[in-house]
């Protein structure tokens, strides 16, 4: 296994900072934070590699919990590892499809987004929430199920578009600079 370079660590740190700043806005709309976090996960993976992508996939839900204090996650702690798994699924697909061509990059992001939503929908929406949601939160079950399935798909796809739009000039800069 290759050692992480200073550039990889710095890139991951910068994108983690972007994730953390975006999470401050989570209470405004998940459609702001979700796409930004997903774009950061994708970009760190294509720029720095699979390991930094996985690390950011694991750290992002933890920082989100501390910043937003999500009561559902506090009530069902098993949600956090399932969110991490969903994030890791996305970065693994992006990594293995690669970004050598725009088609492969788009396929990796698209398939990764769908599989992420399926994993989270099955584990969180269809298992954890119905089984462990406290009774006082039961009226919100259908909304929460939507948030951990379809909303995950939409935010991952929007994040993919953002990552693609950022990647186009970033790739040219990296090629020009020999990075």
Mean pLDDT of 80-100: 96
69, part of any domain: yes
Q: Which domain holds residue 65?
A: 6-177
Rounded to an integer, what distance in angstroms lies between the CA atom of residue 6 and that of residue 19? Answer: 20
CB 90 within 8 A of CB 116: yes
Q: Which pLDDT score, from 0 to 100, does residue 89 have?
A: 98
Mean pLDDT of 86-101: 96
Residue pointed to by tokens 């970004």: 99
The pTM (predicted TM-score) of the whole model is 0.93
34, part of any domain: yes
Structural domain total, the chain = 1
Residue pointed to by tokens 């939503």: 117
Helices (H), the chain: 6-23, 30-48, 50-68, 71-75, 79-97, 102-120, 129-132, 141-147, 150-177
Rounded to an integer, what distance in angstroms lies between the CA atom of residue 30 and that of residue 22? Answer: 10
Q: How confident is the model at residue 133 (pLDDT cuts 50, 70, 90)?
A: very high
CATH of the domain at 135: 1.10.1760.20
In sequence order, the 6+-apart residues with CB closer than 8 A to the CB of 101 are: none
1, part of any domain: no
Rounded to an integer, what distance in angstroms lies between the CA atom of residue 65 and that of residue 47? Answer: 26
Q: How many residues does the chain have?
A: 179
């Amino acid at each position: 296994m290759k050692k992480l370079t200073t550039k990889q660590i710095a890139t991951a740190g910068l994108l983690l900072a972007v994730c953390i700043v975006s999470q401050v806005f989570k209470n405004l709309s998940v459609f702001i934070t979700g796409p930004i976090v997903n774009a950061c996960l994708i970009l760190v993976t294509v720029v720095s590699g699979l390991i930094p992508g996985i690390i950011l996939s694991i750290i992002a839900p933890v920082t989100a919990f501390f910043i937003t204090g999500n009561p559902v996650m506090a009530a069902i702690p098993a949600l956090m590892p399932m969110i991490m798994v969903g994030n890791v699924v996305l970065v693994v697909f992006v990594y293995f499809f690669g970004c050598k061509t725009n088609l492969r990059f788009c396929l990796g992001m698209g398939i990764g987004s769908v599989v992420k939503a399926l994993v989270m929908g099955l584990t969180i929406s269809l298992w954890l929430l119905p089984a462990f949601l406290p009774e006082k939160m039961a009226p919100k079950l259908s909304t929460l199920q939507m948030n951990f399935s379809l909303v995950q798909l939409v935010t991952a796809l929007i994040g993919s578009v953002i990552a693609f739009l950022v990647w186009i000039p970033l790739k040219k800069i990296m090629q020009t600079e020999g990075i």
